[in-house]
Amino acid sequence: MEKSIEARRYLGRQAAAAAAARIDAEIHRRLALSRDPEGADYAAIAQILREERDARPPTRYLTTVIAEGDRCIYLVDGEEDPRNWSPPGEEITGGSALLRILGGEPLEWDALYADSYGSG
C-alpha cells in the first residue's frame, strides 16, 4: 500500500511540475486579473493541464491556484465535466495549508483538502 501511495504521489508531482514548466507565467498573470474562463488564455492553460494529467494516470485533477489575501482560489481547472469543474475565483477548502505550501513551506500530505469536488 505504501508503495502505491508513493507512486501516485510521484506521478501527481510529475504532472504538476510538467504543467508548471509549460504554462506561460505572463498568460497566467493576465488570467489572474481577468478570470475569464471563456477566453483563449484560460483555454490554453486548461489544455496543458489536461494533457499533463492524462499523460500520468491515475492523476485525476490538475488545477492552478493563486493566493488572494488570506485565502487560496482556483484559477484554471482542466476538468471537462461541469459537475466537477471549479470556476475561477472559487475559494479552496483547506486554503490555509495551501498558503503555507505556496509560501515555500514543504508539507508532506497525501490529501490537502476534501470538498464537494473530491480531495486534493
Unique residue bearing C-alpha cell 480531495: 119
Residue 112's domain comprises 2-119
- Number of structural domains (the chain) is 1
Residue 1: the pLDDT is 47
Contact 32, 90 (CB under 8 A): no
Angle between helices 40-54 and 2-22 (to 10 degrees): 150
pTM (2 decimals)? 0.81
CB neighbour class for 46 (10 Å; exposed up to 12, middle 13-18, buried from 19) = buried
Contact 12, 56 (CB under 8 A): yes
| Regions of the chain where pLDDT drops below 70 | 1-3, 95, 107-120
